[in-house]
């Protein structure tokens, strides 16, 4: 009798954990706009610094994107109450963003000669780490595949020529941020359509 009760309790707990994971994945999809926003910000910073020759294009653009993200997060927070998994994912991305800002700015403005290959590799490696941590936490294969893509980009940046490096970076941002974020937004819109039909 006790064994049966324990098995039922264990089954219920596993179902609860799985439902929490599924909810976490759905919540993560609802933040697809942040991937899109930051992908566009990376393009703006890159082309502003390259074509406009503005030395502070990256920090100015990244700080602007961070402020904009913070404002939009606060507006959306009321609609989606915080969960433990959501806070964990948010912490991972906040720590990654701060690490990228500090390390890449230090590398870019160091009086030692900066190595663009190392910077792109560090950039892609950190994004791979953040996507992998969130994907593993939520058991979400799509985000784990995104992490593998970023890690492949980091490896490519170490071995490709200077001319190819530019293409590697731009393609990686397009697929790893803009396309992935857009796919998350589409998935969220499709999921919310039945709810709108019921309430409409």
Q: Which of 11-15, 67-71, 84-88, 120-124 has the highest mean pLDDT?
A: 120-124
Q: Is the pLDDT of residue 129 over 80?
A: yes
Classify residue 113: in a domain, yes or no. yes
- pTM exceeding 0.85: no
Which tokens in the block code for residue 168?
Answer: 């590697």
Is 6 part of a structural domain of the chain? no
Question: If you search the block for the tokens 């593998």, which residue do you land on?
Answer: 148
pLDDT bracket for residue 145 (50, 70, 90)? very high
Q: Which residue segment(s) compose the domain that 99 sits in?
A: 23-186
Q: What is the tally of structural domains in the chain? A: 1
Contact partners, residue 146, CB within 8 Å, separation at least 6: 131, 135, 176, 180
Number of Cβ atoms within 10 Å of the Cβ of 156: 20
Residue 199 lies in a domain: no
Examine residue 105 and state whether it is found in any structural domain, yes or no.
Answer: yes
Is 51 contained in some domain? yes
């Amino acid at each position: 009798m006790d064994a049966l009760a324990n098995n039922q309790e264990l089954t219920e707990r596993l179902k609860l954990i799985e439902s929490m994971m599924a909810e976490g994945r759905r919540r993560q999809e609802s933040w697809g706009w942040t991937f899109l926003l930051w992908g566009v910000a990376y393009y703006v910073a890159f082309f502003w610094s390259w074509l406009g020759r503005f030395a502070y294009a990256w920090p100015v653009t990244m700080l602007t994107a961070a402020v904009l993200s913070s404002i939009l997060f606060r507006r959306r927070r009321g609609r989606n109450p915080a969960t433990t998994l959501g806070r964990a994912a948010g912490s991972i991305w906040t720590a990654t963003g701060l690490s990228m800002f500090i390390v890449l700015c230090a590398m870019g403005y160091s009086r030692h000669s900066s190595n663009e290959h190392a910077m792109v590799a560090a950039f892609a490696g950190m994004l791979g780490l953040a996507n992998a941590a969130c994907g593993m936490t939520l058991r979400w294969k799509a985000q784990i595949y995104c992490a593998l893509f970023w890690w492949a980009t980091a490896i490519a940046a170490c071995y490709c020529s200077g001319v190819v490096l530019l293409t590697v970076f731009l393609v990686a941002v397009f697929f790893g941020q803009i396309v992935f974020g857009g796919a998350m937004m589409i998935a969220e819109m499709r999921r919310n359509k039945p709810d709108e039909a019921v309430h409409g």
